[in-house]
Amino acid sequence: MQLGWEWARDLVHYPNGIVIFVENFNQPKMERKVRVRFAPSPTGPLHMGGVRTALFNYLFAKKHGGDFLLRIEDTDQNRFVPGAEAYIIEALTWCGLVPDEGVGFGGEMGPYRQSERKPMYKKYADALIENGFAYYSFDTAEELDELRKQAEADKQVFSYDLHTRKGLKNSLTLSKEEVEAHLQGGEHYVIRFKMPENREIVEEDLIRGRVSFNTNQLDDKVLFKSDGMPTYHLANVVDDHLMEITHVIRGEEWLPSMPLHILLYEALGISENRPRFSHLPLILKPEGKGKLSKRDGDKMGFPVFPLLWKDPETGDISRGYREDGYFPEAFINMLALLGWNPGTEQEFFCMNELVESFDLTRVVKSGARFDPEKAKWFNRHYLQQKSSEELTQLFLPLLKEKGVTADLQKLERIVGSIKERCEFVKDLWDQGHFFFQAPDSYDEKTVRTKWKADTSEKLQAITAFFETISDWKATPIKDAFSEFMTQKEWGFGAVMVPVRLALVGSSSGPDLFEIFELIGKEETIERIRKACEVIQ
Ligand code: GLU
């Protein structure tokens, strides 16, 4: 049989009579078109870990000339959050991870929203029952709760599994007539997977290598409910099959579901072309143990979501990378290196370079520690890459907010003179507000240490000298000023710091002669005079 895959499965016979399928562990030969999916549930804003999952799927697809799909897994209507789906689509679009198919993007294999696929799943659930791989369970929520409580009292954990199912109310223990009566009576039921006894499920995860599970440790998961909705497990497997997904790349938290999914493919008779699995490492807190959470962000002052999110119920706002002023290319570059490395020293990657270099086998197994400072560092890099023209355009809305209007060419020069001090567009204001507004206060420490008894007198002389300069451009001012200083035999430092203080309000900032030119002769003289008055 031609599978089209170099890694076709082999049968392995165990001494105890168990036979399992095992992959032969070569890389897949890309004969089938690579198709991967990002399959979030619309239960809230997308965590940056989710964006990284989408990114790795996207990179893998593009690297292999494949398709990247967006499937919305909304089978759990209780957890549905309005606005979450639109948020996911907007976030992916902002990041440049535009799906080839999916909710909001069209495609031949839709619908891509699971709630709209509802009628498709029943026949798979029925087939599982018919072939003995699943069963009806009629236990009520209250009954199961009671069992949970009892188990807790005995310091045990209740699990609906191959040990307990024999004593519970299900189609394995009830007679055919009783089952029929329950179903006819329209009683609440769920369909559960009948986890086989003592099987070893072995899989070669493309990131983790060989992982194995014994089915005795696994419970009988619910696959389908009497409201006609499948659960995540059934819908996910059926859809990956119908959408011809070749590789499942998802977070580590889904690893425990993998044996069930593998068994479902097998039970449904659709194992042959089933996807290969890869489970991405967790993103860890900047400090301490555990997974990066929204609380870490709130505590340490960084976003964990790509875009700002307003909780529709509580109205609570969570900050987003976009609104905090990160460039999408910086956010993506930072995320790409959370758990993946190119094997070289290279740190800056545009999307095309990421596609080129990406390799699932270079994704690490252990958790990847998030460093908020590194995120800023990437932003600084991408800001420096932008031309002053482009940055000025990005700066204009903020200037408008501040009520500042200025000639575009002049703005571009201002931006050019301060951009190297900036990480974010908003820093352009912090670093350059004095180009537009005279300082309303002067840094006290600088005043104390640098404003001497004779400073005002010297500055008065300088303003008088400035009056005589006609070519008010940085270079001629600098030349004339140097000559003036040499004549006076004044130390540069003793004069320049107070002048800067007068113009800027503090002792730091860009080149002073640039500032002279850009704010103009009159304003320069005016500010120096005012400082002399105020500070004296
Ligand atoms: N709906 C799951 C989630 O919310 C998808 C897991 C998977 O990719 O299989 O992450």
pLDDT, mean of each 10-residue run, the chain (536 residues): 36 45 45 94 96 98 98 94 97 98 97 97 97 97 96 96 97 97 94 97 97 97 96 98 98 97 97 96 94 91 97 95 98 98 97 97 96 98 98 98 94 97 98 96 95 94 96 96 94 92 95 96 97 91
Same fold, 120-224 and 444-535: no
Structural tokens at position 163: 């040990």
Q: What's the 363 CA to ligand 1 centre distance in angstroms?
A: 19
Of 291, 294, 374, 410, the active-site residue reads: 294
Q: Quick one: which of 53, 52, 9, 55 has its CA closest to 28?
A: 9
Write the single-letter amino acid at 299: K
Atom of ligand 1 nearest to the CA of 261: 9
Class of domain 387-432: mainly alpha
Q: Is residue 118 annotated as a catalytic residue, yes or no?
A: no
Residue nearest to atom 10 of ligand 1 (CA): 40
Atom of ligand 1 nearest to the CA of 248: 8
Tell the burial category of 10 from Cβ atoms under 10 Å away from its Cβ (0-12, 13-18, 19+).
Answer: exposed
Atom of ligand 1 nearest to the CA of 73: 1
Structural tokens at position 3: 């599978």
User: Cα dist. 353→64, 249, 441, 502 in Å?
Assistant: 14, 20, 48, 47
* Nearest 10 degrees: Cα torsion 308, 310, 311, 315: 150
Residue 192 region by backbone torsions, left for phi larger than 0, else alpha for psi between -120 and 50, else beta: beta
Q: What's the 322 CA to ligand 1 centre distance in angstroms?
A: 24
Helices (H), 185-305: 232-242, 258-267, 294-300
Q: Which residues sit with their C-beta closer than 6 Å to ligand 1? A: 39-41, 73, 232, 236, 250, 254
Residue nearest to atom 2 of ligand 1 (CA): 40
Atom of ligand 1 nearest to the CA of 240: 9
Backbone angles phi, psi at 411, to 5 degrees: -60, -40
Q: DSSP class of residue 361?
A: G
Write the single-letter amino acid at 465: F
Q: What's the 250 CA to ligand 1 centre distance in angstroms?
A: 7
Atom of ligand 1 nearest to the CA of 50: 10
Angle at 329 between CA 327 and CA 330, to 5 degrees: 65
With the most atoms of ligand 1 within 8 angstroms of its CB, the residue from 35, 36, 73 to mutate is: 73
Q: What's the 278 CA to ligand 1 centre distance in angstroms?
A: 13
Q: What's the 81 CA to ligand 1 centre distance in angstroms?
A: 16
With the most atoms of ligand 1 within 8 angstroms of its CB, the residue from 35, 36, 41 to mutate is: 41
CATH of the structural domain 294-383, one choice from 2.70.98.10, 3.30.70.270, 3.40.50.620, 1.10.1160.10? 1.10.1160.10
With the most atoms of ligand 1 within 8 angstroms of its CB, the residue from 36, 37, 236, 291 to mutate is: 236
Residue 279: predicted pLDDT: 98
Q: What's the 383 CA to ligand 1 centre distance in angstroms?
A: 34
Residue nearest to atom 3 of ligand 1 (CA): 40
Residues with Cβ within 8 Å of residue 65, at least 6 apart in sequence:
30, 33, 34
Give the helix/strand (H/E) hosting 96.
Answer: none
Atom of ligand 1 nearest to the CA of 250: 8
Residue 18: predicted pLDDT: 46
Residue 6: predicted pLDDT: 37
Q: What pTM was estimated for this model as a whole?
A: 0.90
Where are the domains positioned within the chain?
8-102+234-284, 120-224, 294-383, 387-432, 444-535
Atom of ligand 1 nearest to the CA of 232: 1
Q: How far apart are CA 238 and CA 120, in angstroms?
A: 9
Q: How far apart are CA 209 and CA 364, in angstroms?
A: 11
Residue 491: predicted pLDDT: 87
Q: Quick one: which of 251, 259, 341 has its CA closest to 52?
A: 251
Q: How far apart are CA 494 and CA 450, in angstroms?
A: 7
Residue 11: predicted pLDDT: 45
Angle at 338 between CA 91 and CA 386, to 5 degrees: 60
Q: How far apart are CA 157 and CA 242, in angstroms?
A: 36
What is the third-level CATH fold of 120-224? Glutamyl-tRNA Synthetase; domain 3 (3.90.800)
How many C-beta atoms surround the C-beta of residue 478 within 10 A? 16
Backbone angles phi, psi at 249, to 5 degrees: -120, 110
Q: What's the 39 CA to ligand 1 centre distance in angstroms?
A: 5
Q: DSSP class of residue 273?
A: T
With the most atoms of ligand 1 within 8 angstroms of its CB, the residue from 53, 72, 114, 232 to mutate is: 232
Residue nearest to atom 5 of ligand 1 (CA): 39
Q: How many whole angstroms from its chain centre is CA 288?
A: 20
CATH of the structural domain 444-535, one choice from 3.40.50.1470, 1.10.10.350, 1.10.10.10, 3.40.1190.20? 1.10.10.350
How many C-beta atoms surround the C-beta of residue 108 within 10 A? 6
User: Cα dist. 148→36, 158, 167, 217, 358 in Å?
Assistant: 38, 5, 14, 18, 46
Query: 8-102+234-284, superfamily in CATH?
Result: HUPs (3.40.50.620)
Q: What's the 245 CA to ligand 1 centre distance in angstroms?
A: 14
Q: What's the 233 CA to ligand 1 centre distance in angstroms?
A: 9
